[in-house]
């Protein structure tokens, strides 16, 4: 699956959401289905890792432990940064996975 891409001004401080919610609760087996969490499963922990040059101001698990919001600032115009959210679920055993986005810095 292609990484989601965003544009951000170097002076902007913006929030980006990593959505892990179960969209179809497993009832849709098509290639377009993007379920990550199983029905009833929650995010237990997360870690944000970003390329050097963009600042992670804060991050938190939100929306009944199904999404992660990260606030980003800074960056150099013309540069693209990969921001990765590593999650651990409350499953037994827990599932661990990385999901990334690309943020390109552009003067607006």
Query: Per residue in 35-92, pLDDT tens?
Result: 688 888 999 999 999 999 999 999 999 999 999 999 999 999 999 999 999 999 999 9
Domain interval for residue 22: 4-105
Residue 39 confidence (pLDDT): 81
CATH number at residue 79: 2.60.40
- Domain total in the chain: 1
Q: Which residue in this structure is represented by tokens 């919001």?
A: 69
Which residues neighbour 55 within 8 Å (Cβ) at sequence distance 6 or greater?
A: 72, 73, 74
């Amino acid at each position: 699956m292609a990484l989601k891409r965003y544009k951000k001004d170097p002076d902007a401080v913006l929030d980006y959401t990593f959505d892990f919610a179960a969209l179809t609760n497993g009832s849709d087996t098509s290639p377009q289905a993007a379920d990550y969490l199983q029905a009833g499963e929650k995010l237990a922990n997360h870690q944000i890792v970003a390329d050097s040059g963009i600042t992670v101001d804060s991050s938190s698990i939100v929306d009944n432990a199904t999404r992660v919001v990260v606030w980003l600032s800074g960056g150099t115009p013309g540069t693209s940064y990969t921001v990765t959210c590593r999650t651990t679920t409350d499953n037994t055993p827990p599932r661990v996975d990385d999901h990334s986005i690309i943020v390109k810095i552009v003067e607006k």
